[in-house]
């Protein structure tokens, strides 16, 4: 064997080694890609588990409320220029047109469970437009077993109709978690 043969053998051996190195590099790249995909899937699974745990905690810690609806008074609702509303009870033999009669009802809101303190605001969900109003809707601080009162004023002709009371509450003082609580009541 002369020098040219040895050179050809060396070149072939170098090519075989380079091919092996390239194959190993490709294999390592595929393994790295597979590992990265597996890590990404694991991160997504952990994110989903954390999301479920936080939702369960929020549901478990959510405040619950109890509404006590007091008997209604019959009267007239007077709206002032500044938008404020005054309820004037009817007295015997006054000449108020029955079409203007209104009901005035106090509702007591009591927080029965939940975080130490929340900031609560009351909204009414109904299809009656300006014929149903809420006064003293908040927001106000409320703690467990304490009560707040708000007033509903509505057209007398709507008595016995159903509306939904919606309470938006925010954990206080942090304000990181919010909840919505709903209850249907009769006017």
Q: What is the pLDDT of residue 83?
A: 80
pLDDT of 61 higher than 90: no
Q: What is the pLDDT of residue 181?
A: 92
pLDDT of 93 higher than 70: no
Burial 44-65 (b: 16+ CB within 10 A, else e): eeeeeeeeeeeeeeeeeebbeb
DSSP the chain: --HHHHHHHHHHHHHHHHHHHHHHHHHHHHHHHHHHHHHHHHHHHHHHHHHHHHHHHHHHH--EEEEEEPPPEEEEEEE-TTS-EEEEE--TT----GGGEEEEEEEEEEEEESSSEEEEEEEEE-S-GGGEEEES---EEEETT-EEEEEEEEEGGGTT-EEEEEEEEEETTT---EEEEEEEEE-
Q: Do residues 104 and 87 lie in contact, with contact meaning Cβ atoms separated by under 8 Å? A: yes
Compute the distance between CA of residue 122 and CA of residue 139 in angstroms, rounded to an integer: 7
Q: Which CATH architecture has domain 63-186?
A: Sandwich (2.60)
Compute the distance between CA of residue 84 and CA of residue 102 in angstroms, rounded to an integer: 16
* Pairwise pLDDT comparison (96 vs 163), residue with the higher score: 163
pLDDT of 46 higher than 70: yes
Is the model's pTM score more than 0.75?
no
């Amino acid at each position: 064997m002369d020098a040219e043969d040895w050179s050809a053998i060396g070149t072939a051996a170098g090519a075989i080694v380079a091919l092996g190195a390239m194959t190993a590099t490709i294999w390592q790249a595929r393994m790295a890609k597979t590992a990265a995909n597996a890590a990404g899937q694991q991160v997504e699974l952990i994110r989903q588990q954390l999301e479920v745990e936080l939702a369960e905690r929020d549901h478990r810690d959510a405040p619950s409320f109890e509404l006590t609806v007091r008997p209604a008074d019959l009267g007239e609702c007077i709206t002032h220029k500044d938008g404020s509303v005054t309820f004037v009870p009817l007295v015997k033999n006054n000449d108020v047109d029955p079409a203007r009669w209104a009901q005035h009802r106090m509702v007591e809101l009591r927080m029965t469970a939940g975080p130490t303190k929340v900031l609560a605001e009351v909204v009414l969900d109904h299809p009656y437009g300006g014929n149903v109003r809420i006064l003293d809707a908040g927001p106000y601080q409320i703690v467990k077993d304490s009560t707040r009162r708000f007033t509903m004023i509505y057209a007398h002709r709507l008595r016995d109709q159903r509306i939904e009371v919606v309470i938006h509450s925010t954990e206080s003082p942090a304000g990181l978690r919010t909840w919505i609580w709903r209850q249907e009541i009769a006017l």
